A and B are shown apart, each in its own frame.
Chain A
Amino acid sequence: MSRDITASAHAITVVLRSTLRDASFRRGIVGLSGRVDEIVVAALAAEALSAEQVRLLVLVDPEDETGAAERARAAAEHVGADTEEIGLDPHLDALLRDAPEADPKRRRAFLARLRTNLLHDRSLAHRALVLAATSKTDLLLGRATLYGESAGAVNPIGDLYATEVVALAEHLGIPADVIGPPPVVDLPARSAEGGGFEPSYAWIDPLLKLLVDGRVRRRELTEMGYDRADVQRVASTVRRNRYRRRPPVIPAVSGRPV
């Protein structure tokens, strides 16, 4: 496992350096909202480019009660890059003033895109390329807000499952209190009896690995002990969210579509 992690980290830093060079950028910029994905991307960027060439923006949900602000600040300190903290209250107030009916889901998506907006603004100010931070798990399950967490020129951890990102964080020497508690995945309940379905990444990653990387058939998965309905739910979530992982669909009408 640790050899895979070392080699993956190495491949990621090689791609980061090369992508920035090809796009004529020397600096990268990463947003920190307390998620481990961002912390790992920031640490990898510092390794690939040096901490001096990384800018960090602390952009924490003002209503967060999980200690995200402390984790984000500690992460910035750990990485040792220039950091700016921006309060999101006025922007959020504006949304709620215009749309007081906005439910938590809309609020979350608005915050994600607001962060991207601010990151891209500072990207112009500092001539720094925006680095996205979304794991393969979240990409597959459609948990990354479109043009939110997944927006950026490079997504260094996009081919690592969430649990692998945490393992990489540990490998990079990021302290446990900065990494934070393991999150859960809320998948829409699809069965008639309803009920929440909130598996952990530790549960869902091995299943995704079998399903996506291993191309294991669903029947085999049930023989391995997975619940048929769970497998069905995960597989259909992956399929349904395909559009979020692709560039916008362009109806092809000319001889050479872009």
Chain B
Amino acid sequence: MSFVVGLAQMAPRLADVRGNVERHLQIIEEASSRHVNILLFPELSLTGQALGDLAVDVALTLDSALFADIRRSSKELAIGIGLVERASDRVLRNSYLYLDGGTIIHLHRKLHLERTPAGAESEVFSPGRRIRSFDTRRGRFGILTGADARHVAAAGVLALDGMDALILPLAIAARPNATPPPEEEAEVWPRALAMMTRSYVFAINRVGVEEGWTYPGASRAYGPRGELMAEGPTDEDSLVIASLDHEVLRRARIAATGPKDEARDVVFREMDRVSRES
């Protein structure tokens, strides 16, 4: 079983949900024509990042008609999108949906909130409370949004939960003068996650500019040995094409140590102890 995966490297227009839905539909059409089976958009792809108190204006319920066309398109191919979820009257979340067959298969709510050009996400969003791998027609997947993926234990949970591929919707801004530059780090840690979890890793980074922050793109897909399979350009919209091959996955997992060999009973017992003692 092998599938074509598309990384939709694009620039969401800030707080313009309708415009962004249109852009998503265009990219979905292009992906269809290129035989993509799983199309993944970046973090908050329907809204952009620098929302501040605009978040409440662009928040959507999960049954919102505003993205019904995207949901319908997922009858053709599976689609991952990022949005501001109105979980209740008072609670907004930075959420990522995996859509397939016209319905929501999985919802990941970002747990580790970070800084945006408009201030701290924690002032706007409530953090998620679940990390779970989920079954799809094309394999068992896990999602970690933005800073979630910088917490090695979170990826560890998904690996032990049996994921085949890790989906990383990102909005990493370039800081060439920082020590170390986050865009350089992003060349390393998704690859390390692929190696450590023996899973495919699809890191979809946005492009564009918000409030002086530049998002360079350079989305990347790694195979389960950490091999770079595809890489998007810098600063340009692009549909980056990669693949997910369960035979490659099987061979990579037989050949090398990974989550299948984990001393689970010890890990769980020690995690439990750390939890009790912290």
Contacts and interface: CB of A to CB of B under 8 A. Distances in A.
B177 A159 contact: yes
Please report whether the interface of chain A is mostly helix, strand, loop or mixed according to DSSP. Answer: helix
Interface in A159-193: 159-160, 164
Given A15-B212, A213-B179, A214-B179, 5 more contacts: A11-B176, A14-B235, A19-B212, A213-B178, A256-B53
* Residue from A10, A11, A15, A159 whose CB has the most chain B CB atoms within 10 Å: A11
Interface in B179-207: 179, 181
B209 A7 contact: no
Nearest to B235: A14
A14 B177 contact: no
Contact-residue size bin, chain A (C-beta under 8 Å from the other chain): 10 to 19
Interface residues of B, number: 12
Contact of A14 (B53, B179, B209): B209
Contacts of B214: 11, 14-15
A119 B141 CA distance: 56
Nearest to A9: B176
Interface in B109-147: none
Contact of A4 (B177, B208, B209, B235): B177
Interface of B: 53, 174, 176-179, 181, 208-209, 212, 214, 235
The 5 closest A-B pairs by CB, nearest first: A7-B176, A18-B209, A11-B214, A8-B176, A14-B214
A211 to B, nearest CB: 14
A18 B208 contact: yes
A19 B209 contact: yes
Contacts of A3: 176
Contact of B176 (A4, A15, A18, A154): A4
A164 B177 contact: yes
8 contacts: A4-B177, A7-B176, A11-B174, A11-B214, A14-B235, A15-B209, A19-B212, A213-B179
Contact of A160 (B177, B208, B212): B177
Contact of B174 (A7, A160, A164): A7
